[in-house]
Amino acid sequence: MDAHRQTWFITGSSRGFGRSLATAALAAGDRVVATARRPERLDDLVARYGERVLPVALDVTDAAAAESAFAAARRTFGRVDVVVNNAGYANLAPVETAEEADFRRQFDTNFWGVYHVSRAALPLLREQGAGTVIQFSSTGGRVGRTPGLGSYQAAKFAVDGLTRVLAAETAPLGIRYLVVEPGGFATDWAGASMEVDDVPAAYRATVGAIADVLRGGDAAPGDPDRAAEILVRVVKAGDPPTHLLLGGGAVRMALDHSRDQIAEATAWQAVSSSADTGADYPVDLPAAR
């Protein structure tokens, strides 16, 4: 096998980031196991790139289907070098009034789907002694606090936590992990993919404001095709970061959040340390901000 040709396994390949990334990997000369709930939507990729594309039907909430998809990838290409957990969606509603069933369905895709695919990939990556796993999170998976996205952002925080543990567990096995944290991008994430519930009066100033922005249809600044090309370059460079923010807005939000966290931990350091046996106690609380 050409040492520069890699095999990618990408969930949610029919649209959005997944489609852009599949196209970028194929344009770079690589091979792609392109998974989607409706693989017929990948017919144009197959027509253009032929045997370098393996379309596979996959509902990421089905653990057995994830295992079968990796078995098909192995039969066809012999290995998988890059696993991309991209499939996901969000609906908008206050936590108080969102239907529990919908909250759980979102979590099933956005967290458990990542779990199923990551777990199904591990035996093959471990046997190979190499591989890169890309987990699509969001700036909200680092910063959070977007009203109306309780299930989505909770799942993204959980994906980050899971990935940090996986990275520690598999560190000696040659498996690397990259958590991608995009800001606003011109995909249909906030379009046809998103349901927006009626917002009760008590939440109009918070959830309602986000709903107005999303319904307004303002163009997001991020270019998903350019982001996909960046990710292909990062993977091929061979030393990816543990986390990669995408978009200027994402960088600004993350830096502001980190500065706030450092300032708060520093202000409360004496109080926090006083919980240890033998430490000075009690200590003064910090002055109100």
Positions marked active-site: 137, 152, 156
256 close to 262: Cβ distance less than 8 angstroms: no
Residues 6+ apart with CB under 8 A from 38: 14, 57
| CA 131/CA 141 separation, integer angstroms | 23
Cα angle 100-101-107, degrees, rounded to a multiple of 5: 90
Quote the tokens at residue 203: 């939440």
From residue 13, alpha-carbon distances to 39, 57, 123, 173 in Å are 9, 10, 23, 28
Residues 6+ apart with CB under 8 A from 184: 220, 221, 222, 247, 249
Distance of CA 59 to the CA centre of its chain: 16
